Structure 1
Amino acid sequence: MESRIADLRCKEIINVSDGCRFGYVGDVEVDLESGRVTALVVPGRLRLFGLLGREEDRIFPWESVRRFGEDIILVEADAAQVRRAERRRRREA
C-alpha cells in the first residue's frame, strides 16, 4: 500500500481512550536526517471567527499513533503526551 504525507491532511485524529476528536491533520514534523515522520500537527481552533487569532496547535508524537483508517487516525494520547505549540508570530520576509 502506497501513501503520501498529503493524504494525512484529509484524516481526523481521534483519541482511542475516550473518543475525543482533536481535528484534522494540518502538518507533519519530519526528521530531515532520517527522513522519518516524528509528529502530527493539528492546527488550533479559530477564536471568534478568527478575529482573536487561533488557539495553540496540538502536536501528537508519532509513537502515540495506534491505527490508520480511511478517514481517521487513532491515537493514544493523554495530556502529558500532547504538546501544544506556540504559534510563531514572526513571519519571514
Structure 2
Amino acid sequence: MISDLTFCELREKEVVNITDGKKLGRILDMALTCSGNVLGIIVPGEKKFFKNISGDESIFVPWKNIVKIGEDAILIELGERSGGNVVCPAPRDC
C-alpha cells in the first residue's frame, strides 16, 4: 500500500488514461490553490509533427479524475479525445 508521496516520487510514475489505455507520460507539474489544496496534475500533450509550427499542449487532469496511484503508475480517467488533447478548464490565478 502506498503511503504519503513527495512530488518527486509522483513525477517518476507513468500516467495512464484508463479510458483509452494511452500512456500520457510523466507529471510535468501540479496545480495548487492558494491555500495549498491540489487542483490537479499537468501531463504532456500529444506531440505534434511540426512542433515549432503547431506546438504541443499540456493536459490538465483534475484531481478528481485520478483513479489510482500505484507503485509504478498513476491511473486517470479522461473522456474520449477527438483529434487532440482533452480541453480542461485552466486553474485560475490567486
TM-score (norm 1): 0.71
Specify the alignment match of 1:39 in structure 2.
Answer: 40
Shift of 1:20: 1.4
5+ residue gaps, structure 2: none
Residues 18 and 50 (structure 1), Cα distance of their counterparts in 2 relative to 1, 3 Å cut: closer
Specify the alignment match of 2:75 in structure 1.
Answer: 74
Shift of 1:17: 2.5
- What is the CA–CA distance in structure 1 between the aligned matches of 2:87 and 2:7, rounded to whole Å? 21
Deviant stretches of 4+, over 6 Å:
none
Shift of 1:75: 0.7
Identical counterparts, % of pairs = 30
One-letter amino acid of the counterpart of residue 23, structure 2: R
Specify the alignment match of 1:57 in structure 2.
Answer: 58
Count of residue correspondences: 84
5+ residue gaps, structure 1: 87-93
CA contact (8 A) 2:24 2:44 kept: no
CA contact (8 A) 1:11 1:24 kept: yes
CA contact (8 A) 2:27 2:41 kept: yes
Q: SS of 2:45's equivalent?
A: coil
Residues 68 and 57 (structure 1), Cα distance of their counterparts in 2 relative to 1, 3 Å cut: same
TM-score (norm 2): 0.70
- What is the CA–CA distance in structure 2 between the aligned matches of 1:26 and 1:46, rounded to whole Å? 14
- What is the CA–CA distance in structure 1 between the aligned matches of 2:51 and 2:62, rounded to whole Å? 27
Higher strand share: 1
CA contact (8 A) 1:64 1:76 kept: yes
- What is the CA–CA distance in structure 1 between the aligned matches of 2:65 and 2:56, rounded to whole Å? 22
Specify the alignment match of 2:87 in structure 1.
Answer: 83
Shift of 1:60: 0.5
- The reply on whether 1:2 has 2:27 as its aligned counterpart is no
